[in-house]
Amino acid sequence: MSRRKQKQISPIEFFRALRWIDKRPLLDVIEDYRRRIFEQALFTFDEDGRPRFNLALMGRAKKNFKSADLILAALYRLLAWHSEGGNQCYCLANDEGQAADDLELAKKLIRANPVLAEAVRIKQKLIERKDGQGFLEILPAQDVAGSHGKTYLFAGFDEIHEYRTWDLLEAMQLDPTRPDAMMWITSYASIYHKPGVPLFDMFKAGKEGQDPRMFFSWYAADYTTDPDFENTLPEDRANPSKKSWGDSKYLAQQQRRLPAHKFRRLHLNLPGLPEGSAYTAEKIMEAVERGVKVRPPVEGTEYCGFVDMSGGSSDDATLGIAHKDAEGRAILDVIMDQGQRPPFDPRRAVERFAAVLKEYGVFNVTGDKYAGETFIKDFEREGIAYRISDLTRSQLYEALEPKLNSGAVVFLDEPQLETQFLGLCWRGGKIDHPAGEHDDYCNAAAGAVYAACEEAGSFDLESFDRPAQDNPFIQLGEGGGREPTLAEAVDRLQDRGGRDDPFSAW
C-alpha cells in the first residue's frame, strides 16, 4: 500500500484545524486507535492512486464514538476531499431518532468551527456546500425504494444492528464509475445473529479477509482486530474509548440496570442471546477464567476426557479435558479442535486427540453414539478406549446448568466456547444450537465437566429419570431397595458387559 502524494489532505490534517463541540481541539478528543482507523480507512491508496478501501465496517460497543466518527468521516469527504464526480454524501441512520441525533451532531460541529460554517449552508435535513459541489444528507433507513439509483462519494450507515435484510445496502451499492466512492458502516452486534443478516455476513467476511477493498475494524468482548487490545479485559476490548468516559463504574452500573442480553449486546458488542436461551450471559461469562487458554497437566490429578467427533465436512471435531479440584469445582483444562479447518480427515483428529489425552494420563474417553460407532477402532488403535455417553448432549447441557449457577464450573478463555454456550437455546423441549450455528466446543466442554464430576459422584443422576431396574444403586436382586456398596455396584455393572466404571450407566 502507499500514501497518495497529491492535492488530497489526510483526515488527520483536516481534523487538526478543527475543534470538538465543546471547543477543545478535535485531535485532543480522538484517541490513537481512532486516528489509526481514520488514516487507514480513508487515506490508504493502491499503487495506481485509487483509495484502497471502498467499504469499511466499524464495530464497537455503545458509547465509543461510532456515530461521531461516521459524521467526522462524512464531513471530511464532504469538505476536504477533491472528487471529479462531486461530493455527494449520505448518512443513513437506523431510525428517525438516530437520524436526528446524527444531524444535530453534524450541525454542532459546524457551529463550533467557523471555517466549516463559512463553507456550508445548514438546512432542515441537509448540509450543503455553498459552491454547489456537494451536500451531506442524513436520512432514516426505512425508505428502501427511494434509495435506489443514487450516486455518491460517501454513504455512511449508522447502527445496522436491526437490519434483517440486505435491501437497503443493495439499494445503495457503489457506483462503479466512482473509483473514490465509499460505504462506511458502524454498529454494535446484531439482534439477528445468523447467515443472511447483513451484519453477520459482513462480520464473517471481515474475519475471513477475502475482500481486499474492505476495511474491517472490530472491538468486542470476545474478539478484536486491534493488537493493542487483544490481551485486555473483555469489557475493555469491547470499549476502546472507555478511558474517555470519566466514570469507571459506568459498565458495572449498566450491568445492574440492563437485562443480561441487552448488556451483552450494547456494552460488550456480542450478539443478542437467542429467544429461549439455555443459560444467562452472566453465568457463562463468570465461569470463564480470562487469559487462560489451556491448563497443563499436573501430576497426581485425575483427568477425564470427552470428544465430539465430526465427519470432517463442515462441523469441527472437539476434545474437552477436565478435572475436579479440591474445592469441588469442575475445571476445564483443555478445549481444542482438529486444527485444520473443515473439510478435514477425521481420523487425523483422532490421532491429535489421542496424543493430548495421553499427556493428561487419560486412556479412556467418552463421546456420543455416532462417534462410538464410527471411530471406536481408530481410538483403540491409538491406545484409547472409547465409551459411549449415556446422556444426550441436551442432557449434558441440562446437567451443567446447576453447576454454572452455583459457580462450580471454571471454563477456559476460548471465544468459540463462550459464543457457542451463549447461543444455546431450548428447542422442542431440548437444548440445542440455533439453525446454522454450532455447539461442538460446548458439547465437548459440557461432556468433560460432567465426566469429571461424575467420577466424584457430584451430579444428581436421578434427575434424568433412569428406570429403577436400570440403576445398579437401587436394584440389587434380592437386596433391592437398600443402598448398595460401591463394590456391589461395580459387580452389577461388570455383570452387564464388563464395564469397569460404576458411573458409566449415566
More confident residue, 269 or 488: 269
Please, which residues bridge with residue 186 across strands?
A: 58, 158
Give strand ranges (E) for 22-113: 55-59, 87-93
Cell of 17: 484545524
Cell of 109: 460541529
Q: Helices 260-268 and 250-257 meet at what angle, rounded to 10? A: 150
Query: pLDDT tens digits, residue range 446-500?
Result: 999 999 988 655 444 443 343 333 333 333 333 344 444 444 443 444 444 433 3
Please list the helix, strand and coil fractions of the chain in percent, rounded to the nearest 5, in that order.
40, 15, 45
pLDDT for position 146: 52
pLDDT for position 61: 97
Strand order in the sheet with 154-158: 120-122, 126-129, 134-140, 87-93, 154-158, 182-187, 55-59, 214-218
Query: pLDDT tens digits, residue range 228-243?
Result: 999 999 999 999 999 9
Domains and CATH numbers, the chain: 11-244 (3.40.50.300), 304-465 (3.30.420.240), 466-506 (no CATH)
Residues 73 and 50: their CA atoms lie apart, in Å, by 18
Q: Which of 318-322, 416-420, 480-484 has the highest mean pLDDT?
A: 318-322
Q: Is 90 helix (H, G, I), strand (E, B) or coil?
A: strand
Please, which residues bridge with residue 241 across strands?
A: none
pTM of the model: 0.61
Kind and range of the H or E run holding 76: helix 66-79
Cell of 68: 461521531
- Those residues with Cβ within 8 angstroms of residue 252's Cβ, 6 or more apart along the chain or in another chain: none
Q: What does the DSSP 8-state code read for residue 174?
A: P
Q: What is the mean pLDDT of residues 119-137?
A: 95
Report how far apart, in Å, the C-alpha atoms of 193 and of each of 161, 168, 198, 199, 329 are. Answer: 9, 18, 9, 8, 32
Q: How confident is the model at residue 94 (pLDDT cuts 50, 70, 90)?
A: confident
| Residue 197 amino acid letter | V
Q: What is the mean pLDDT of residues 273-278?
A: 74
Q: Helices 346-359 and 369-381 meet at what angle, rounded to 10? A: 70
Sign of the CA dihedral with 241 first, then 245, 250, and 252 last: positive
pLDDT for position 498: 39
Q: What is the mean pLDDT of residues 276-302?
A: 90
The full DSSP string for 451-476 is HHHHHTT-S-GGGG---GGG-TTT--
- For the chain, give the percent of residues with pLDDT over 70: 85
